[in-house]
Structure 1
């Protein structure tokens, strides 16, 4: 985190992507979820003082590198202005020269990988570095979470927490703890090429709960059961059991109408190629597939995912480590 050391001419902040292993949607209702940091996909922000002083755009200019669409940049710009205002208010900063913020984000948006949270965290840390202000983890989380609530509606906090985490987390009711991992394997994350919509998926699930008596309780009960089994299996080093729970969770989300034909085809392809388990990850209605795979199967699983429609894939190693989640 940024320490008090006087203002810099350029502030730098970094964050990374995340994937939900299990617990999507249920976590919003207070059920537990398991989350995985993805350090391979990063967001880096630089913040500096503009030589232009104040101009018609107010106190901030924003640039996104890469191939982001004009719509994405416009939405991100509006969110950044709110985020910067919230940061300044929290830090007691008033006025100041015009700011230039540049965001280099490798996390594709709308894929369930936490791009908005990663971008927000990178920017918050860049601003803290620029102004030479100390920013606690809890303050960084709260600022990112506020931005997430604006972006997604009611956000669980998983994204805001995991984009700054260094190890897999158990997340429950706003609190996170490291997961015990007793096995080594690989997660292959495959992008379907179609953006999902967390807001739409949340609404769809909520309406289904309202239509059928007991539907919410059944969904949450099954989700909690699968998360619990997977957590214990991870701690005990039972990779096959973890894989089974991932696939079962995919079936839960698919039955709720939150998958797509391409996602289902990618899940089937991963399983046919020898993956221990596979599921949609994130809000749904598009996005990515997560497949747990032994290293010797990784090449075949990756090839089959691309054959089934994946536009890009990333490999995230799962390393054995002790945790504190009980």
Structure 2
């Protein structure tokens, strides 16, 4: 039996712009995990081929068994890369706590957990770049052209800046908490990407303005995070939400959640992920956290998680 683990991620700033080569900042969400187990089995009569896949956990309403095209391609790519031959039946079990379709990197985390489980099963050394490339292959199947930030962030131990396939850890000088709130509505990365692309094509100069504004906000946020300027970081987060909202990528519920968080004393709040649903990320001081979480739930959040900045800083150190 081979075991592999990965975790969720949230985009702090840089959604969509990162696909066009601009930078993005991402946070690991260690509370939300995916664990894969891989082994050999004798398949039941109705199972065809050399692979079966079972998913359990809170991210799945029921136990689901199938061999998806994406998993087949991922397994094939792994075997090819590692020089593995043979057709013994593989049985992969994935236990996932990451809500699907919420911009939290569930597909990348699942793929990374599976790749690491296969490496453990076959006793293969897997360096960081190989793991990234294999997960990125699966991400391109799932989302079309993927920037790579999810594939990198679901294995990161600390906040990172990602741009054009390269990542580096971020300095964290801020205190406070991130509250991550699930709107209960799945977004669609593919639909959001196409919506934004269509807008760029309709209006001359729209792409340059969006990318320029996004890059400036990402740079401001990185500096504020490093220098311990929590209030400034919060303001930049809210400004990025306005950029996403103006591009048509937010929803009424997401906007209400952002407004509720700000009303409750959050330093800043924004949609996180591709948009058209998904989650809100709010930055708050500990003394406001309870009220911010309450207001987020009142505005439509179905669940919330707290990610302490100091814990992220400890990882970064």
Identify whether the pair has TM-score above 0.5, normalized to the shorter chain.
yes
- Give the conservation status (yes or no) of the 8 Å contact 2:34–2:98: yes
Q: Which runs of 5+ in 1 are unaligned?
A: 1-9
- Give the conservation status (yes or no) of the 8 Å contact 2:54–2:63: no
Residues 150-204 of structure 1, C-alpha deviations (whole Å, 9 max, x = no match): 1001100000000000000011111000001111211000000000000000000
- Give the conservation status (yes or no) of the 8 Å contact 2:33–2:97: yes
Distance in 2, Cα, partners of 1:71 & 1:249: 38
Look up the match of 1:223: 214
Find 2:31's aligned residue among 36, 40, 59: 40
Find 1:16's aligned residue among 4, 7, 11: 7
Q: Taking structure 2 as the reference length, what is the TM-score of the superposition?
A: 0.95
Runs of at least 4 residues off by over 3 Å: 51-56, 69-74, 320-324
For the residue of structure 1 that corresponds to 2:68, the secondary structure is: helix
Of 87-96 and 305-314, deviating more is 87-96
Q: Which runs of 5+ in 2 are unaligned?
A: none
Deviation of the 1:87 alpha carbon:
0.4
Find 2:183's aligned residue among 171, 192, 195: 192
For the residue of structure 2 that corresponds to 1:207, the secondary structure is: helix
Q: 1:181 to 1:252 in 2, by over 3 A?
A: same
Deviation of the 1:108 alpha carbon:
0.7
Find 2:98's aligned residue among 95, 107, 123: 107
Q: How many residue pairs end up in the alignment?
A: 314
Q: Taking structure 1 as the reference length, what is the TM-score of the superposition?
A: 0.93
Look up the match of 2:228: 237
- What is the 5 A alignment of 1:160-171? 160-171=151-162
Deviation of the 1:139 alpha carbon:
0.4
Of 142-151 and 48-57, deviating more is 48-57
Look up the match of 2:293: 302
Deviation of the 1:81 alpha carbon:
1.1
Distance in 2, Cα, partners of 1:71 & 1:298: 35
Residues 245-275 of structure 1, C-alpha deviations (whole Å, 9 max, x = no match): 0000000000000000000000000000000
Deviation of the 1:96 alpha carbon:
3.8
Match status 1:267 vs 2:258: yes
Distance in 2, Cα, partners of 1:207 & 1:167: 34
